[in-house]
Structure 1
Amino acid sequence: MEYFTGGDMPKVGMSDVAAAAGVSVSTVSVVLNRVKSARVHPQTRERIWKAANDLGYMPNGMARGLRLQRSHLIGFVSDFVATTPYAGNMIVGAQEAALPTGRLLMAVDTSGDARLEETALTSLLQQQVDGVLYAAMYHRSLTVPELLGGTPTVLVNAVAQSSTVSSVVPDEQGGVRLAVTELLDHGHRRIGYVDCTDRILAAPLRRRAYRATLRKAGIVPDPAWTAVEPPTSRGGYRAALDILQRPNRPTALFCYKDTMAVGVYQAAHTLGLRIPDDLSIIGFDNLELLADNQFPGLTTVSLPHHEMGAWAVRQLIAEITDPATTPQQTKILGTLYRRDSVAPPSGA
């Protein structure tokens, strides 16, 4: 909330109060905006209010009116979403859901910089946004910033570690079931997994779903069918060489992500295996620039970035409109995109 001193005296920003009180602008913001959930020491609160009074601060009536009547602005704060070639669809989905309701999305990408994030959130709150979408580039667990206490908030591609707020994430296990079932439906029974070393929520979820889907089909997963490498094309290449040179090699490989699948294509070429005649390959993420430009095209499962962004806006608007709305935690299933990298096993 902006403040001014009245009359013809010059306007004073929160930075002036922060300087007088010896605290950060974000701390001044939560105190002057009376954010109850913010953890600020009582003595610090007193010092801030004293500085505000000494400077003759008064609330900006226009800004307060905007808050009461709603600004029709939605903040979108992310780490690396806007700077990646695929997760940006979250922003597109959010915009498309917001515009028909007369709301405007204000997006800020912090590149993972904590200080920039604090500045961005403070600025958005000063703009009196009705609510905030707090998004992550990859599916992870996070702590909701204290600055957002009291502001309607929905997490996108993330879940909260402690606080109860609405969140939307991909159905990782459902996506793996789509991929592995596609290979099973083509007659494959020796299905390997090009796994990754990432320590994020998606990794164990996809690993367990791969094994569970095979077991449900009556197949005991063979540890020799799995190799773990970094989630890069080079990692996929090494993993595929490892798996495909073992006795009784798999006839199909499911890859943790499309970038690893690119390396699997290269490994198949090195070993003289034809795709999909000798080896079927299926990926995860649907990175179209990669999947469409493989030869043959890579069959893969999408991450529902667009759908998550749209759902998050709809849920946020519901909570803005009715503060009694119950927070929701949901998963959205991606789509299987069939191209030409999957066929029945040779000799079937």
Structure 2
Amino acid sequence: MAAVTMKEIAERTGVSVSSVSLVLNNRDMGRIKPDIASRIREEAKRLGYRPNRIASSMRTNRTRILGFISDEIATTPFAGRLILGAQDAARAFGYTLLTVNTNGEKALESSEIETLKQYGVDGFLYARMFNQRTSVPGTLRDYPLVLVDATDVEGELPSIVPDEVKIGKDITERLIDAGCRRIAYIGLDDDIAAQVGRFKGYRQALAERGLAFDERLVTNPVIGAEAMASTERLMDDLHPDGFFCFNDARAWGVYQAAAWHKLAVGKDLSVIGVDNHQVLAETLSPYLTTVELPHYEMGCWGTRKLISLIEDRDVSDVLPPPTRAVLPSLEDSEVKIACALVEKESVVGSESMQTDK
């Protein structure tokens, strides 16, 4: 059976071939009436239309393929959301995403980059396992390129990362609003951007709300036995009424320590984590109030930004998919995206607050 052409769709719908082209390339917003665009898409679907990528690439000198390079992100529990956001955004523009994982190995990374280039990719997304400053391989800099969950050490490339300072402020302010006055910070034994930013936000919120900073309420342990021991010491010596945990895994340690001290999370003390980890946040009892890192949104924004660079145009005519966190403007280059606080049950008064809603 011969392939269905745009001309055939145009004839069956009574419109021009150029109108069909705009619709099937997702460039119809503001140019083609919605009812006509809907009719074109329905007819294309009914006829089984498939775009001819080879012919298109010969006309435009583009393959409509994007390369997605990551280090260890494909082995983390949040990788799926990041890649899904990128795929959904790419699909809306008629692009395909090719994903490779380098395991943090430079030799493998170079090989994978060359492989993607052989496929004729139009541009690259370069993603890291967590928010960090990174040095991008020079072989990528001749292509349109966007960093995801990372920033360029040279400050030259567009990038998107979580707003770590705002995470710290939002969590601390939520605990203060719940009546907490002795808020412990259970941090990370590393000075990565997330640790630095969240701790900064914690201190800013305390100062702005008139609460004195007490360094004795801060601990940055290695995860495991050390984290448990330091949390238990805090409960013994300082009796915190609120816990800001760097991530949900550290919140799990607070739950354990609270049980040893016969304290009820959500009643005797409040706990908030970060990650909205599918297992931890929904398994802990009571369910953990947590900040959801915007992996889907970062993948989506990064792809939309990349396509705007490839096509050298404003791509706002193609609406993004629904997201929990608000997507930043594509006009900006180094972007920090706000994260959503997901209310559950681990903050004192959360049950009554949910009932009021």
CA distance in 2, matches of 1:161, 1:186: 39
Task: Report 1:1-348 matches (<5 A).
Answer: 66=58, 69-162=61-154, 164-230=156-222, 232-247=223-238, 249-322=239-312, 328-344=333-349
Give the alignment's Cα RMSD to 1 decimal.
2.2
SS in structure 2 opposite 1:95?
helix
Report the Cα distance in structure 1 between the residues aligned to 2:183 and 2:89, rounded to whole angstroms: 39
* Matching residue of 2:16: none
For residues 201-224 of structure 1, what are the alpha-carbon distances to aligned partners after superposition, in whole Å with 9 as ceiling and x for unaligned? Answer: 111111111111111000011112
Q: Deviations over 1:98-148 (max 9, x none)?
A: 101110000001111111111110111111101000000100001111111
Matched position secondary structure for 2:79: coil
Q: CA shift at 1:69, angstroms?
A: 2.1
How far off is 1:303 after superposition?
Answer: 0.8
After TM superposition, the structure 1 stretch with the greater mean CA deviation from structure 2, 191-200 or 296-305, is 191-200
**Matched residue of 2:346: which SS?**
coil
Find the aligned partners of 1:262 and 1:337 in 2 and give their Cα distance.
17
1:57-94 superposed Cα distances (whole Å, 9 cap, x missing partner) = xxxxx99x659520000000001111111133110100
Identical-residue share of aligned pairs (%): 38
Aligned length: 282
| Structure 2 unmatched ranges of 5 or more | 1-53, 315-329, 351-357
Asked if the contact 2:164–2:193 (Cα under 8 Å) also holds between the matched residues in 1, the reply is: no
Q: TM-score, normalised by structure 2?
A: 0.75
**1:176 and 1:166, CA in 2 relative to 1: closer, same or farther beyond 3 A?**
same
Q: Matches of 2:59 and 2:164 in 1, distance apart?
A: 38
Matched with 1:26 is none
Residue 168 of structure 2 contacts residue 200 of structure 2 at CA under 8 Å; is this kept in 1? no
Change in 2 beyond 3 A, CA 1:66/1:119: farther
Instruction: Tell me if the contact between 1:233 and 1:262 (Cα under 8 Å) persists in the aligned partners.
Output: no
Cα 1:295–1:327 change in 2 (3 A) is: closer
What amino acid sits opposite 1:238 in the alignment? A
TM-score by length of 1: 0.77
- Structure 2 vs 1, CA of residues 191 and 125 (structure 1 numbering), >3 Å: closer, same or farther? same
Shift of 1:234: 3.8
- Residue 239 of structure 1 deviates from its aligned partner by 2.6
Contact 1:227 1:242 in 2 (8 A): no
